[in-house]
Structure 1
Amino acid sequence: MTETTDAPRPIGLGDAAPNFTARSTKGQLALGDYRGRWLVFFSHPADFTPVCTTEFIAFAKRQPDFDKLECSLLGLSVDSLYSHLAWVRAIEAHFGVAIGFPIVEDPSMAVGRAYGMIDATSQDSAAVRATYIIDPDGIVRAINIYPHTVGRSVDEVLRTVAALQQTADGKRLTPEGWQPGEAFLAPPSEQLMEGDDLGWFCRTIDAA
Structure 2
Amino acid sequence: MTGSHALRLGDIAPNFEAATTQGDVDFHVFKKDSWAILFSHPEDFTPVCTTELGAVARLSSEWAARGVKPIGLSCNTLESHAEWIADINETQSADVRFPIIADADRRVATLYNMLDFQDATNVDKKGMPLTVRSVFIIDPKHVIRTIITYPASTGRNFNEILRVVDSLQLSDKRKIATPVNWVPGDDVIIPPSVKQEDADRLFPGHKVIKPYLRTTKLD
Q: TM-score range by the shorter chain?
A: 0.7 to 0.9
Residue 200 of structure 2 corresponds to: none
| 2:70 pairs with one of 73, 82, 99 | 73
Residue 168 of structure 2 corresponds to: 164
CA contact (8 A) 1:10 1:114 kept: no
CA contact (8 A) 1:113 1:120 kept: no
Residue 3 of structure 1 corresponds to: none
Instruction: Compare 156-165 and 85-94 and name the one that shifted more.
Output: 85-94
Structure 1 position 63, deviation (Å) = 1.3
| Counterpart-to-counterpart distance in 2, 1:183 and 1:191 | 19
Residue 206 of structure 1 corresponds to: 217
1:121-140 paired onto structure 2 within 5 Å: 123-125=128-130, 128-140=132-144
| Secondary structure of 2:140 counterpart | coil
Instruction: Compare 18-27 and 93-102 and name the one that shifted more.
Output: 93-102
Structure 1 position 205, deviation (Å) = 2.7
Structure 1: 5+ residue stretches without partners: 1-5
Instruction: Compare 162-171 and 20-29 and name the one that shifted more.
Output: 162-171
Residue 145 of structure 1 corresponds to: 149
Structure 1 position 90, deviation (Å) = 1.9
RMSD between aligned alpha carbons? 2.3
Which amino acid in structure 2 is aligned with residue 43 of structure 1?
S
Q: 1:114 to 1:199 in 2, by over 3 A?
A: same
Matched, 1:24 2:29: no
CA contact (8 A) 1:132 1:141 kept: yes
Q: 1:183 to 1:93 in 2, by over 3 A?
A: same
CA contact (8 A) 1:159 1:179 kept: yes
Structure 2: 5+ residue stretches without partners: 197-207
Which amino acid in structure 2 is aligned with residue 13 of structure 1?
L
CA contact (8 A) 1:172 1:205 kept: no
| Secondary structure of 2:98 counterpart | coil
